[in-house]
Amino acid sequence: MSADEGSDTAEEAALGATSTDCLFCRIAAGEIPADIVHQDDLVVAFRDVAPKAPTHVLVIPRRHIASALELRETDGPLLGRLFGVAADVARSEGVADPGYRLVTNIGAWGGQSVEHLHVHLLGGRRLGWPPG
């Protein structure tokens, strides 16, 4: 299904369609509780429920986008906000120095389990490379 299917109004299309059966859409809408560390009109950041590092925050667009595979050039401003928020969260969490990792998993072999674009912000320990 296209990410934009179900948008009835221009405003919905601009702000972004949400999917009522999507876990992260529901977290962004406040319907499912999460430990939110940032939210604005485009982006929400919340702590991962099963952290893989001392700091593990998920940064998501409010708009339902299934994965990075769905992104288009017109999503540039949204991605600018998303990465800017990730940088702000890294600073406020105290992991910007000595460094941290942003990663987005795509599809089954990429390790994606939730079909709503999310960037993992992992920090607070030295991270191995390459990932498994």
The burial of 132, by beta-carbon neighbours within 10 Å (0-12 exposed, 13-18 middle, 19 or more buried), is given as exposed
Chain positions 73 to 102 lying near ligand TR5, rule: CB under 6 A, are: none
**Interaction between residue 114 and ligand TR5 (CB under 6 A):** yes
Q: What is the per-residue DSSP string for 42-93?
A: SEEEEE-SS-SSSEEEEEEESS----GGG--GGGHHHHHHHHHHHHHHHHHH
Instruction: Please report whether residue 22 would count as binding ligand TR5 according to CB under 6 A.
Output: no
> Residue 82 in contact with residue 43, Cβ under 8 Å?
yes
Binding mask 30-69 for ligand TR5 (x = CB under 6 A): --x-x-----------x-xxx-------x-----------
29 binds ligand TR5 (CB under 6 A): no
Catalytic residue among 64, 116, 118, 120: 118
Is 38 an annotated catalytic residue?
no
- Residues lying near ligand TR5 in the complex (CB under 6 A): 23, 32, 34, 46, 48-50, 58, 105, 111-114
